[in-house]
């Protein structure tokens, strides 16, 4: 009898757990309150290709202005408030009973009640940047309630609202426009062309062992390759598509929702981005032709999946989208591309099989290292060490790691790590010997960026080596930064703020950037908001809780990335 009771109890608990899990599942239909007063233009779509990541929300323009009221999408509670000089800037997270969380980013300010709480937390932590979590019942909000005002904070490139919907469990972003919404779109995606890649040693495209691009044009209701070219290929090849999308009434370039590729009426590759996990977002550099992006700026989305691309947004055949060409055979390829509104575009073309090459192929290119991407890899020469973890690359790599003389390096040498066109998924370490350098003041890592200008690469001394943690291939060296950052107050000459609400201070460092700053008024920590992209820190004097009328002493101390300090002191009237 006891066993029967246990089985019945287990069954009841299982049923309760099932319905509890079902209640937590995101709804298929959710009529949320639009976060702005009006539907503006979409300037960035969900899943859009960004630098090193997929875009995790939808950007709505605010007509070049800040200060638009932002509304809660539904009933819920504020589960997180984050404030930082970069990234999302001022951001608010609201968790809803339906298992979803909405995010409102790049805000100019929060609602009065939330703003008071944020200011109190900043003074308690003595930090402009905060990242605080809350539970239900602490800051409850209602559907349509004003929670803040749109802005341009953080890494925003212009006034807009970044709006996200996430599954609360796991914080997986999903496309806000997959739910019923007010955004209208009747524009089909635009296919600009395709690129065909040789992937095996014997592969060729039109007799050459190199990738080839074929532009597309639109007529008769579909896209076609321009001039209907004859295309032949041998060996194992891959296809990439150059595609983007527009929204009705806007010429802003946005991303697409899905790509499907069929070969001889058989689906070999399918990509759909209705959601993704943040830990997978950097696989974007495998999703696209990274080398093409770096060299030309053109964004081509590959229709084959690299061996170590672990993203879960693909469905492929057993060859992961790669196509084997047989001499004399003809492959019929068909693309269908859709946006989130269901508008679709198609492109059909043929590739003829040709005799395989035996003397060429991209795997035969010269290179002094071969990296098996499934294994860790270490390079060592003349005291230099480069260490990669396994699966730092999306496929096996051939390339060069060289040490050469450099007139701009402290050590007289620089190390070239592979090539900037090769994407790296994980952080790797470059170790440069420094035991012969007696003066280590201001020592820091650097890399050659665009136009061969030196860019700060950070780093630290560990024993006899200077260690740089990097995530991009390129040429690295050691330099020295002993120049302190700059501080100047943008103010009335008399420093009279009796009729002003803000003190604005310009802080800037030309090389290693601002690492930290601190401001006090009369010896007490005071809130200065950091606008990093404009090199400003700004104090709203009304938010300084202890400030009274009279003369006060302002002290600002900042430190750059290389540890160089600077201090500024002045008096002002309020």
Looking at residue 363, what is its pLDDT? Answer: 41
Q: CA-to-CA distance for 238 and 259, rounded, in angstroms?
A: 15
pLDDT tens, residue by residue, 515-530 = 999 999 999 999 999 9
* Strand ranges, E, within 199-343: 204-205, 212-219, 222-225, 232-244, 258-263, 266-272, 301-302, 314-316, 323-325, 330-338
The pLDDT of 466-473, averaged and rounded, is 98
Q: CA-to-CA distance for 105 and 83, rounded, in angstroms?
A: 10
Looking at residue 450, what is its pLDDT? Answer: 81
Q: CA-to-CA distance for 260 and 334, rounded, in angstroms?
A: 8
CATH assignment of 365-480, given 3.30.470.160, 2.60.220.30, 3.40.50.620, 3.40.640.10?
Answer: 2.60.220.30
pLDDT of residue 20 exceeding 60? no
pLDDT of residue 15 exceeding 90? no
Q: Tell which phi-psi region holds residue 154, choosing left (phi > 0), alpha (psi between -120 and 50) or beta.
A: left
Q: CA-to-CA distance for 571 and 444, rounded, in angstroms?
A: 35
pLDDT of residue 150 exceeding 90? yes
Q: CA-to-CA distance for 246 and 198, rounded, in angstroms?
A: 31
Residue 362, judged by CB atoms within 10 A of its CB (0-12, 13-18, 19+), counts as: middle
Q: CA-to-CA distance for 204 and 194, rounded, in angstroms?
A: 16
User: Do the bridges between strand 344-353 and strand 204-205 make them parallel or antiparallel, or are there none, so unpaired?
Assistant: unpaired
pLDDT of residue 368 exceeding 90? no
Cβ atoms < 10 Å from Cβ of 531:
17
Looking at residue 156, what is its pLDDT? Answer: 96
Beta-carbon contacts of 426 under 8 Å, excluding residues fewer than 6 positions away, are 388, 389, 391, 392, 471
The fold adopted by the segment(s) 42-178 is: Glucose Permease (Domain IIA) (2.70.70)
pLDDT tens, residue by residue, 392-403 = 999 999 999 999
pLDDT of residue 310 exceeding 80? yes
pLDDT tens, residue by residue, 498-557 = 889 999 999 999 999 999 999 999 999 999 999 999 999 999 999 999 999 999 999 999
Looking at residue 28, what is its pLDDT? Answer: 63
CA torsion, ordered 470, 475, 481, 483, to nearest 10 deg: -110
**pLDDT category of residue 8 using cuts at 50, 70 and 90:** very low
The pLDDT of 246-261, averaged and rounded, is 95
The pLDDT of 261-288, averaged and rounded, is 98
pLDDT tens, residue by residue, 102-123 = 999 999 999 999 999 999 999 9
- Name the one residue in this structure whose structure tokens are 């030196």: 454
CA–CA distances in Å: residue 568 to residues 185, 485, 487, 557: 53, 11, 7, 6
pLDDT of residue 4 exceeding 50? no
CATH class of 486-573: mainly beta
pLDDT of residue 9 exceeding 50? no
pLDDT of residue 7 exceeding 60? no
| DSSP H or E segment with residue 6 | helix 2-24
Handedness of CA 319, 47, 298, 51 (dihedral sign): negative
Looking at residue 16, what is its pLDDT? Answer: 38
* Strand ranges, E, within 296-422: 301-302, 314-316, 323-325, 330-338, 344-353, 369-371, 377-381, 384-388, 397-399, 401-405, 413-417
What 3 state SS string does 32-86 have?
Answer: CCCCCCCCCCEEECCCCEECCEECCCEEEECCCCCCCEEECCCCEEEEEEEECCC
The pair phi, psi for residue 156, each rounded to 5°, is -60, 140
Q: What is the mean pLDDT of the chain?
A: 93
Q: CA-to-CA distance for 189 and 246, rounded, in angstroms?
A: 7
Q: CA-to-CA distance for 192 and 223, rounded, in angstroms?
A: 9
- Beta bridge partners, 502, equal 540
Looking at residue 452, what is its pLDDT? Answer: 84
pLDDT over 70 percentage in the chain: 93
The token duo for 332 is 């019929």
User: Do the bridges between strand 42-44 and strand 58-61 make them parallel or antiparallel, or are there none, so unpaired?
Assistant: antiparallel
pLDDT tens, residue by residue, 60-102 = 999 999 999 999 999 999 999 999 999 999 999 999 999 999 9
pLDDT tens, residue by residue, 187-240 = 999 999 999 999 999 999 999 999 999 999 999 999 999 999 999 999 999 999
pLDDT of residue 25 exceeding 80? no
- Do the domains spanning 42-178 and 365-480 agree at the CATH topology level? no
Looking at residue 366, what is its pLDDT? Answer: 56
Please indicate whether residue 356 or residue 496 has the higher confidence score (pLDDT).
Answer: 496
* Residue 558 C-beta-side C-alpha neighbours within 13 Å: 25
Query: Domain segments of the chain: what residues?
Result: 42-178, 190-353, 365-480, 486-573
- Beta bridge partners, 444, equal 479
H and E: helices and strands count for the chain: 4, 45
């Amino acid at each position: 009898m006891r066993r029967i009771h246990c089985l019945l109890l287990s069954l009841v608990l299982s049923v309760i757990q099932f319905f509890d899990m079902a209640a937590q599942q995101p709804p298929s239909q959710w009529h949320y309150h639009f976060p702005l007063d009006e539907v503006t233009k979409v300037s960035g779509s969900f899943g859009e290709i960004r630098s090193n990541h997929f875009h995790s929300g939808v950007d709505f323009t605010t007509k070049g202005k800040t200060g638009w009221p932002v509304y809660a999408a539904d009933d819920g509670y504020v589960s997180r408030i984050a404030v930082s000089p970069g990234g999302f800037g001022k951001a608010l997270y609201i968790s809803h009973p339906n298992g979803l969380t909405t995010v409102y980013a790049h805000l100019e300010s929060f609602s009065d009640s939330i703003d008071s709480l944020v200011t109190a937390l900043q003074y308690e932590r003595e930090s402009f940047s905060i990242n605080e979590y809350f539970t239900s019942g602490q800051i409850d909000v209602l559907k349509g309630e004003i929670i803040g005002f749109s802005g341009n904070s953080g890494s925003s490139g212009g006034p807009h609202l970044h709006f996200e919907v996430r599954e609360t469990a796991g914080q997986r972003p999903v496309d806000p426009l997959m739910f019923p919404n007010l955004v209208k779109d009747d524009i089909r995606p635009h296919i600009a062309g395709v690129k065909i890649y040789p992937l095996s040693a014997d592969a060729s495209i039109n007799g050459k062992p190199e990738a080839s691009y074929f532009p597309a044009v639109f007529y008769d209701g579909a896209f076609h390759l321009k001039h209907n070219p004859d295309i032949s290929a041998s060996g194992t090849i891959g296809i990439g598509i150059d595609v983007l999308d527009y929204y009705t009434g806007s010429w802003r370039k946005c991303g697409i929702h899905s790509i499907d590729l069929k070969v001889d009426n058989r689906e070999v590759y399918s990509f759909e981005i209705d959601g993704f996990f943040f830990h997978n977002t950097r696989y974007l550099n495998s999703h696209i032709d990274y080398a093409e992006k770096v060299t030309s700026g053109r964004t081509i989305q590959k229709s084959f999946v690299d061996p170590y691309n672990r993203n879960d947004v693909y469905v492929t055949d057993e060859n992961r989208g790669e196509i084997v060409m047989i001499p004399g055979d003809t492959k019929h390829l068909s693309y269908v591309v859709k946006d989130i509104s269901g508008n679709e575009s198609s492109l059909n073309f043929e590739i003829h099989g040709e005799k395989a090459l035996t003397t060429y192929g991209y795997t035969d290119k010269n290179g002094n290292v071969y990296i098996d991407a499934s294994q860790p890899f270490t390079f060592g020469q003349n005291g230099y060490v480069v260490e990669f973890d396994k699966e730092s690359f999306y496929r096996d790599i051939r390339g060069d790691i060289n040490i050469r003389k450099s007139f701009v390096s402290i050590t007289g040498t620089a190390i070239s790590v592979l090539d900037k066109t090769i994407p790296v998924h994980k952080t790797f370490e470059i170790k440069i010997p420094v035991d012969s350098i007696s003066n280590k003041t201001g020592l820091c890592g650097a890399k050659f960026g665009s136009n061969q200008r030196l860019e700060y690469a950070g780093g630290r001394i560990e024993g006899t080596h200077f260690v740089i943690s990097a995530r991009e291939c390129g040429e690295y060296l050691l330099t020295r930064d002993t120049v302190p950052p700059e501080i100047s107050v943008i103010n009335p000459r008399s420093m009279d703020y009796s009729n002003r609400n803000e003190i604005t201070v310009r802080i800037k460092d030309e090389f290693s950037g601002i690492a930290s700053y601190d401001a006090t008024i009369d010896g007490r920590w005071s809130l200065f908001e950091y606008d990093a992209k404009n090199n400003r820190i700004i104090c709203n004097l009304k938010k300084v809780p202890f400030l009274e009328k009279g003369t006060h002493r302002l002290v600002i101390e900042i430190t750059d990335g290389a540890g160089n300090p600077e201090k500024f002191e002045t008096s002002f009237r309020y």
